[in-house]
C-alpha cells in the first residue's frame, strides 16, 4: 500500500481472508501448495497482522466496513463421531484463483459409508466438520481468465492432492501412489468435499466432462480407479515380459 498499489493490496487481502477456517480464524502458517493451515492454532500474531492490514485498507477506502457472509448448504460429518451426518450451512465457495462450480450430482460409495457409519475421515485444519463428497459432477459458474474453463462447462474434481513435500511418486504426478501418506483428499482426508451447493476448485484439479456423459459423469472417479488398475497390470505385464525376454 505504501507503494500506491492499492488494488493489488485489496486482491491480496481477499485471498488471505479466503484461507480462514469456518470460524474465520488463522493458524501460524499457511501452506500455499497444499492449501491448508499449519502450525499453532489460533495464532495471535496472524490475527494482529490481518486486523492491521484491514484497518490500513479501510483508511484508504478500499474495503467496506463489513462484508456479508454468504452461506450454502452442505452435507457434513464430524470425523471420529459415527453417524454424525447432517445438512448444515457453511461458508460459500471462495478463492479468486479458483473455478467456482455448482454441484449437480454426488456419488456415495463404500468410503463415504465408512466415514458416515464408523466416523472415519480427517478434519481440515482448524475445522469442526468435514464436507463429504468425492465422486462428483458440477457445472462451472465462473472461472479465472485463461484457466481453460468457462461458465456452463461440466466438470468433475480430482480427489487427491499431493504431499506438500513430494515423495518420488508425488513428484512424478502419481499422487495416488504416495509413499509417505501425507496426501490430502477432498471429502475424505483434511479437505472439504464436493457435497455442497457450490465449491471452489483449483483449475489444475478439474477435468472437463463431455455433455453426452452428463447422466453418468458422477462415475468418472470410480471408473478412473478401474482404469488405473488396468494400466498398472499392463505395466507389470510389460516389465515381466522384458525381464523374461531382454532385448
Fold observed for domain 73-236: Quinone Oxidoreductase; Chain A, domain 1 (3.90.180)
Which is higher by pLDDT, 200 or 38? 200
Q: What is the mean pLDDT of residues 173-190?
A: 88
Please say if the pLDDT value at position 247 is more than 70: no
Q: What is the pLDDT of residues 80-133, one digit of tens each?
A: 999 999 999 888 766 668 899 999 999 999 999 999 999 999 999 888 899 999
pTM over 0.75: no
pLDDT at 6 over 90: no
In the chain, what is the greatest distance between 2 CA atoms, to the nearest angstrom?
75
Sign of CA dihedral 215, 218, 219, 224: positive
Give per-residue pLDDT as tens, 55-81: 877 776 655 444 445 788 999 999 999
The string of DSSP letters for 20-57 reads: S-TTS---SEEETTTTEEESSSS-HHHHHHHHHHHHHH
* pLDDT of 166: 86
Q: What pLDDT is stored for residue 14 in this prediction?
A: 72
Residue with the bigger pLDDT between 164 and 240: it is 164
Residues 47-84 as b or e (16 or more Cβ within 10 Å = b): eeebeebeebbeeeeebeeeeeeeebebbbbbbeeeee
For position 12, what pLDDT does the model report? Answer: 74
- Give the chain's mean pLDDT: 82
Residue 236, classed as helix, strand or coil, is helix
Report whether 197 contacts 72 (CB < 8 A): yes
Rounded-to-10 torsion of CA 24, 26, 30, 34: -50
Residue 201, pLDDT score: 93
pLDDT of residue 118: 94
Q: Is the pLDDT of residue 157 over 80?
A: yes
Sketch the domain layout of the chain as residue ranges. 1-62, 73-236
Look at 40 and 247; give whichever has higher pLDDT.
40
CA distance 148 to 162: 22
Instruction: Identify whether the C-beta of residue 105 lies closer than 8 Å to the C-beta of residue 209.
Output: no
Amino acid at each position: 500500500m505504501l507503494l500506491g498499489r492499492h488494488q493489488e493490496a485489496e486482491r491480496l487481502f481477499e485471498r488471505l481472508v479466503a484461507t480462514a477456517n469456518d470460524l474465520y480464524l488463522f493458524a501460524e502458517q499457511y501452506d500455499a501448495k497444499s492449501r491448508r493451515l499449519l502450525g499453532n492454532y489460533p495464532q495471535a500474531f496472524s490475527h494482529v497482522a490481518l486486523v492491521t492490514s484491514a484497518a490500513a485498507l479501510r483508511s484508504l477506502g478500499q474495503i467496506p466496513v463489513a462484508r456479508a457472509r454468504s452461506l450454502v448448504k452442505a452435507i457434513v460429518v464430524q470425523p471420529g463421531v459415527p453417524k454424525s451426518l447432517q445438512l448444515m450451512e457453511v461458508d460459500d465457495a471462495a478463492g479468486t484463483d479458483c473455478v467456482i462450480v455448482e454441484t449437480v450430482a454426488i456419488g456415495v460409495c463404500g468410503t463415504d459409508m465408512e466415514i458416515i457409519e464408523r466416523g472415519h475421515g480427517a478434519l481440515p485444519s482448524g475445522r469442526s466438520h468435514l464436507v463429504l463428497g468425492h465422486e462428483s459432477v458440477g457445472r462451472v459458474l465462473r472461472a479465472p481468465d485463461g484457466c481453460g474453463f468457462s461458465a456452463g462447462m461440466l466438470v468433475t474434481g480430482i480427489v487427491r492432492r499431493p504431499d506438500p513435500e513430494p515423495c518420488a511418486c508425488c513428484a512424478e504426478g502419481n499422487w495416488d501412489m504416495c509413499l509417505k501418506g501425507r496426501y490430502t483428499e477432498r471429502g475424505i482426508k483434511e479437505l472439504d468435499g464436493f457435497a455442497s451447493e457450490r465449491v471452489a476448485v483449483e483449475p489444475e484439479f478439474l477435468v472437463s466432462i463431455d455433455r453426452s456423459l452428463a447422466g453418468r459423469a458422477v462415475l468418472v472417479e470410480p471408473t478412473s480407479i478401474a482404469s488405473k488398475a488396468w494400466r498398472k497390470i499392463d505395466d507389470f505385464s510389460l516389465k515381466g515380459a522384458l525381464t523374461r525376454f531382454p532385448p
